[in-house]
Structure 1
Amino acid sequence: MGRSRNKGEKLPFDKAGGVIAIQRRLIQSRPYLGLSPQAKTLMVLMQSHWDAQGPVDYGVREAEAKIPCSRKTAMRAFKELEEAGFIVKIDESLFSSRTESKTRTWRLTWMPCWRNRAPTNDWENASRGENEAA
């Protein structure tokens, strides 16, 4: 029999205050398996910024530094995730030396939307389209 836990007790692997879990069906899907290692890394990095209050702010410079990779590779990783249906651009970046700059914002389609909506899982539609073509 399983051991019951006291409510509020953290699991042993959650000592640093957070866990990122990705659905098994997502990581076994064709769209995910077809991604480059950099795009897969970017997914995890973007999910670490996710919360239920709004879209994820994540830019190319941050991806370059954290993956680490070149600017071109980071841009390609974003494009891969977008084309495979894992992310949707909500707002474009803006750079201004006179005013406050802002980074691009994204919706992660495998995560719940900040407006209390269920995940859209757009990547599943991409997967179905590939299966039908095969």
Structure 2
Amino acid sequence: MGKRDSKGNPIKGKQEHFTKLIRATMETPAWRALPPTAQVLYIWLKLEWRGPNANNNGKLRLSVRQAADRMGVMRDTAARAFHELQAKGFIVMTERACLGIEGAARSPAFEITELPLPHGQGRAGRKLFWDWRPGQDFPVMRAGANNPEGRNGKAKPCHENQDGTVIKIRTKGKGAS
């Protein structure tokens, strides 16, 4: 039970946040095939869900860096955990990550298939992991390269690498003739 004030009312402010794991989900072959890091990541993703009243499923955002920090692992390990959850049908990427205007980045958005979507597709989620079989992974959406054609993140070659005439400008200073 949460803390209460002198009148017995719950104290507003930072309240406990919890999530539940459903045993039927944990007994599926897909869950048992997940590595422990992916199982932990699933819990962290479910903690991003706001509940049925303020359903944000499909818009859950957790970056690889945030996940790695929360789980205490390296970024590559966290990225592999995201891929494993997608491959087994526990999550689906609904929106890719992007680097917005002035560098305001947005991490990818995910849907947890166990949970219902907010726009009324029934009371239960799609539960894609029930259909998973060994060797039949679901497609994984990977983050695209920032600029696959450019060098060092630039679409055009650097100025000093361009061929052509270079105009040298000389200013007259003191003592110049």
Same fold (TM over 0.5): yes
For 2:24 and 2:135, the matched residues in 1 are separated by 16
* Cα displacement (A) at 1:99: 4.1
Structure with more relative contact order (C-alpha pairs < 8 Å, separation 6 or more)? 1
- Is 1:49 the counterpart of 2:35? The answer is no
For 1:24 and 1:112, the matched residues in 2 are separated by 17
- Is 1:31 the counterpart of 2:35? The answer is no
Count of equivalent residues: 115
Q: Name structure 1 gaps, 5 residues minimum.
A: 1-15
Superposed CA RMSD in Å reads: 2.0
Structure 2 partner of 1:93: 97
For 1:128 and 1:64, the matched residues in 2 are separated by 27
* Cα displacement (A) at 1:129: 8.4
* Match of residue 70, structure 1, among 51, 66, 74: 74
Larger radius of gyration: 2
Taking structure 2 as the reference length, what is the TM-score of the superposition? Answer: 0.60
* Cα displacement (A) at 1:112: 1.2
SS of 1:32's partner is helix
For 1:18 and 1:75, the matched residues in 2 are separated by 25
Taking structure 1 as the reference length, what is the TM-score of the superposition? Answer: 0.78
For 1:121 and 1:85, the matched residues in 2 are separated by 7
**What amino acid is the match of 1:79?**
H
For 2:23 and 2:81, the matched residues in 1 are separated by 21
Seq. identity, %:
22
1:14-71 deviation per Cα after TM superposition (whole angstroms, max 9, x unaligned):
xx53431121110011110111111000000000001313421111011110011111
| Structure 1 stretches of 4+ moved >2 Å | 16-19, 127-130
